[in-house]
């Protein structure tokens, strides 16, 4: 899936998204940026529309970001004097949205509970969890698998795109 959006007349944002369960797709985001760009160029080459222009822009841009879309679900948000807030504890994923809201609301609730219970952090963390959990469950529960499937390349087409000859060489 390719999404293009412009929030000012001078800049365009382009999103490439892929549904792929290979080890390479999971590991590539921890590789050097040039390798990440090559991964996306390989997957989307010949995809049609304005893809060539977008891929050229990807090689040139300083604003490149590549990541696996994941959702963090854990029953425990604290241990000892340490508590998790935001994505670290309950990342929603771009497919549910509201990650920023969950992080801000979580920080607000946590700060309030610590302020109410400064001498008893386990109690503060327990109330933090009890208060926020329903909100987080609602945010995370709104990932609809049908949304994930919508618009993604079919497997056969993705394989033919990724096996196409003529890899572009990373720029030096
Ligand atoms: C492509 C994309 C689009 C998104 N769109 C939306 C949207 O439209 N609406 C929305 O609500 N949410 C959106 N989100 C989600 C949102 O960005 C996150 O949910 C939100 O930023 C979580 O805030 P956070 O403070 O928990 O984590 P972060 O914003 O990730 O902040 C964590 C910070 O910790 C720093 N850090 C990491 N490790 C260390 C370390 N060892 N020492 C010191 N600092 C460290 C990082 O550099 C970072 O600054 C999107 C996310 C992505 C990836």
* CA neighbours closer than 13 Å in the CB half-sphere of residue 141: 6
Average pLDDT over residues 56-75: 91
Contacts of 164 (CB under 8 A, 6+ apart): 42, 45, 46
Whole-number Å distance between alpha carbons of 60 and 49? 19
Q: Is residue 101 part of a domain?
A: yes
Q: Is residue 97 part of a domain?
A: yes
Domain shared by 62 and 115, yes or no? no
Q: Is residue 172 part of a domain?
A: no
Q: What are the pLDDT digits (tens) for 19-43?
A: 888 999 999 999 999 999 999 999 9
Lowest-confidence region among 71-75, 94-98, 117-121: 94-98
Residue nearest to atom 26 of ligand 1 (CA): 86
Whole-number Å distance between alpha carbons of 161 and 156? 9
Residue nearest to atom 52 of ligand 1 (CA): 94
Domain shared by 121 and 88, yes or no? yes
Contacts of 66 (CB under 8 A, 6+ apart): 28, 29, 33, 36, 37, 39, 40
Provide long-range contacts, Cβ within 8 A and 24+ apart, for 80-84.
Answer: 81/121, 83/110, 83/125, 83/128
Question: Does residue 89's CB lie within 6 angstroms of at least one atom of ligand 1?
Answer: no
Number of domains comprising the chain: 2
Question: Does residue 29's CB lie within 6 angstroms of at least one atom of ligand 1?
Answer: no
* 67 CB neighbour count, 10 Å cutoff: 9
Whole-number Å distance between alpha carbons of 69 and 66? 9
Domain shared by 83 and 138, yes or no? yes
How far, CA to CA in Å, does 126 sit from each of 52, 113, 121, 122, 129? Answer: 52, 9, 8, 6, 5
Q: Is residue 56 part of a domain?
A: yes
Domain shared by 60 and 107, yes or no? no
Domain shared by 61 and 87, yes or no? no
Domain shared by 6 and 61, yes or no? yes
Q: Is residue 45 part of a domain?
A: yes
Percent of the chain past pLDDT 90, that is, above it, reads 63
| Per-residue pLDDT at 158 exceeds 60 | no
Q: Is residue 114 part of a domain?
A: yes
Domain shared by 17 and 47, yes or no? yes
Q: Is residue 43 part of a domain?
A: yes
Domain shared by 106 and 82, yes or no? yes
**What is the three-class DSSP state of 6?**
strand
Q: Which residue range forms the structural domain that includes residue 93? A: 78-142
Task: Say whether pTM exceeds 0.85.
Answer: no
Domain shared by 97 and 43, yes or no? no
Percent of the chain past pLDDT 70, that is, above it, reads 83
| Per-residue pLDDT at 16 exceeds 90 | yes
Domain shared by 64 and 7, yes or no? yes
Whole-number Å distance between alpha carbons of 168 and 14? 19
Question: Does residue 98's CB lie within 6 angstroms of at least one atom of ligand 1?
Answer: yes
Q: What are the pLDDT digits (tens) for 120-135?
A: 999 999 999 999 999 9
Residue 49 alpha carbon to ligand 1 centre in Å: 31
| Per-residue pLDDT at 99 exceeds 50 | yes
Query: What pLDDT, on a 0 to 100 scale, did the predictor assign at position 146?
Result: 62
Domain shared by 60 and 91, yes or no? no
Q: Is residue 92 part of a domain?
A: yes
Domain shared by 6 and 63, yes or no? yes
């Amino acid at each position: 899936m390719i999404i293009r959006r412009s929030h000012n007349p001078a800049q365009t944002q382009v999103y490439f998204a892929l549904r792929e369960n290979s080890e390479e797709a999971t590991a590539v985001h921890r590789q050097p940026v040039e390798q990440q760009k090559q991964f996306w160029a390989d997957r989307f080459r010949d995809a049609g529309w304005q893809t060539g222009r977008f891929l050229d822009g990807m090689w040139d841009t300083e604003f490149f970001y590549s990541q696996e879309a994941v959702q963090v679900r854990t029953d425990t948000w604290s241990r000892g004097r340490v508590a998790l807030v935001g994505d670290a504890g309950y990342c929603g994923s771009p497919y549910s949205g509201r990650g920023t809201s969950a992080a801000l609301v979580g920080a607000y609730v946590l700060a309030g509970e610590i302020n109410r219970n400064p001498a008893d952090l386990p109690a503060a963390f327990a109330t933090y969890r009890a208060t926020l959990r329903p909100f987080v469950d609602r945010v995370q529960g709104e990932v609809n698998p049908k949304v994930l499937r919508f618009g993604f390349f079919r497997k056969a087409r993705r394989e033919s795109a990724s096996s196409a000859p003529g890899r572009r060489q990373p720029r030096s």
